[in-house]
Structure 1
Amino acid sequence: MSNTIQKLKDLLITRLKLKVDADQITEDTQLFGPEGLGLDSIDVLELVVAIKKEFGVEIADRQTAEKVFTSVGSINKYIKENR
């Protein structure tokens, strides 16, 4: 597992106060819906700020955010491509 994935897991759990163990989150874990982490639009706003602060990567527009915030793996890929 990459260091970025571990940091993302920690960020998701701590910043969004998720009641889930880091071992339960994989790259394929969906962010929205009952099958995923159940995040909402407020959570996404918090993640945008946290990702910029932690990784120095900005998600500037809604279209990009819709593509990036589908799974933990999609966030990881975006961070790696835009660092």
Structure 2
Amino acid sequence: MGSRVLSQNVGIYVAAVPLRAIKGPAQLMMSAAHSLNLWDFQHFMVLIRPTSPPQSQVFVYDFQPQDPEDLYVALAALSGKGVADYEAWD
């Protein structure tokens, strides 16, 4: 994703929602870990809102792995390693 130069004032916000797992053992493990306060995984999104009246559209950047259900991606996240393969949706 290329960088964009913004020539106007903008509001930048970060939204966080609880990370959910696919149904089955992964969801059971995530729910148990969250209930026991072992992990508090969040899914983050960046929202950019122009403050100028002509531009009222809000841009949302949602970063996630290309295959979020991949076991190796989950293990990398659990061990604190970065996930190199991601898509940015805007």
TM-score range, shorter chain: under 0.3
Q: Comparing both structures, which one devotes a greater share of its residues to strand?
A: 2
TM-score (norm 2): 0.26
